[in-house]
Chains A and B, each alone.
Chain A
């Protein structure tokens, strides 16, 4: 992985993720079918991650909204069935950008506290794994050894925790199975869909 990529990923975490909830809410208001929203967001992240430089982006939040809008518009064009009100909603981007609740989200120290809070809120074993990995810098293999569990268990717990934390960072309900103790631990071979 190149340095450029690492820099963009860090930027995504710092400047973009905290606004996802706002963009998601705006997209949801603008689209009848909420299912499309996650598709649009993933495509938007794909575009942002592919940026060769981020230095020219003074307003990440606005940029995020714009990128999501252009993805949404493309999808509507591709679908060919355009409802007038959908387009006008999407055009009403300025309104969403002025949402005053936005500014409260990002700010250094509080953001750190929040990250810590997110980890602390995980179920026990999951939290322990995150603390060892992320705070003490212990490798997954070593964590498995220390906790006396298989690497697979560590992997599954880490995946579960990461999903819960991502959901919390972007203020959604946790994805099904990302929280709670009942999830099967053989997730790697589980068939999807």
Chain B
């Protein structure tokens, strides 16, 4: 049932990672690590692509004296403004700069977006989410208004990175973590480094959460369920690649997961099926594929009704 990634896909992704690391360096490190952790073949393909990329550095030896043809920068749309002259451009930057730093990002149902931020951090924003990013001189303030996002935070000891999710606060210096705003609280998953989690009312002191751990911060009680190691982090963050990975979840839980991403909601209309557990690897936008696979496995059938995908017994 598990879809196996083809070697060709891995090869293509590996080349992309090498180019991204060349550009963004440490900022994408944790994201890269998460990808590499998914499959040994990815590690191999990445090493191979890296080897090829590095090999090209040897070309330098041959070109040392080659004259660099001066590039005349083509005018981009924004370049028209720059055309007003250096002074004007400087002024423009000063005026526009701070305004650009407070940004809003949203995703529609089923959409997953990757957003580079002004400070070098990167956010991956999951389905139906809304995020406000405000880069202040002493604070990088992110407000998760709804949904879920994962952050790879660029190191800046003087400017802590704080995510606000309802009354819950998550603070990081240089690390990677995700926050999901839920009814009554927020899930926090740490993929790298350490973060501090607390709630606004100050009932509990900030709790440190380490790489590989997941906590639920309860809005009302202001109490954090103690950190627990989560061997399942990569699975829980598979959405960043547009995937849902199931490893023994019940069909009800799985359906709820697919329903986060799609208008075509899955209903499990059979008590026996509801508790069956399933293993598999699907695309977030393929609820039909999941329903068909589940029906085939547990001897059920799929019925389409009023735009819903109903899973029932035979």
Contact = CB atoms under 8 A, between A and B. Distances in A.
A41 B8 CA distance: 12
Interface string A116-137: 1011000000000011011111
Nearest to A14: B55
B60 A134 contact: yes
A55 to B, nearest CB: 18
A38 B60 contact: no
B7 A17 contact: no
A9 B54 contact: yes
Interface residues of A, number: 63
Contacts of A162: 15, 18-19, 49, 52-53
A81 to B, nearest CB: 18
Nearest to B43: A46
Interface stretch (B63-71, B130-138, B212-220, B270-278): B63-71
A181 interface: no
A166 B45 CA distance: 11
A38 B52 contact: no
Interface stretch (B72-80, B152-160, B200-208, B226-234): B72-80
Contacts, number: 159
Contacts of B44: 41-49
A43 B10 CA distance: 12
Contact of B54 (A10, A135, A176): A10
Contacts of A47: 44
Nearest to A160: B15
Contact of A191 (B11, B19, B20, B242): B242
B146 interface: no
B41 A42 contact: yes
B57 A134 contact: yes
Nearest to A158: B19
A6 B76 CA distance: 37
A139 B22 CA distance: 8
B225 interface: no
B224 to A, nearest CB: 35
Contacts of A17: 48, 51-52, 55
Given A41-B44, A146-B71, A169 B55 contact: yes
Contacts of B66: 135
A169 B41 contact: no
Interface of A: 6, 8-10, 12-14, 16-17, 35, 38-39, 41-50, 111-113, 115-116, 118-119, 130-131, 133-137, 139-141, 145-148, 151, 154-155, 158-159, 162-163, 165-166, 169, 175-178, 187-189, 191-193
Given A140-B23, A154-B23, A166-B49, 18 more contacts: A6-B54, A13-B55, A39-B41, A49-B47, A111-B58, A112-B58, A116-B63, A131-B63, A134-B60, A148-B74, A148-B79, A151-B23, A155-B23, A158-B19, A169-B52, A175-B12, A191-B283, A193-B5
8 contacts: A9-B51, A38-B11, A41-B44, A158-B22, A163-B11, A166-B49, A166-B52, A191-B242
> Which 10 pairs show the lowest CB-CB distances between chains A and B?
A148-B74, A38-B7, A46-B44, A49-B47, A45-B44, A13-B55, A12-B51, A42-B41, A13-B51, A42-B44
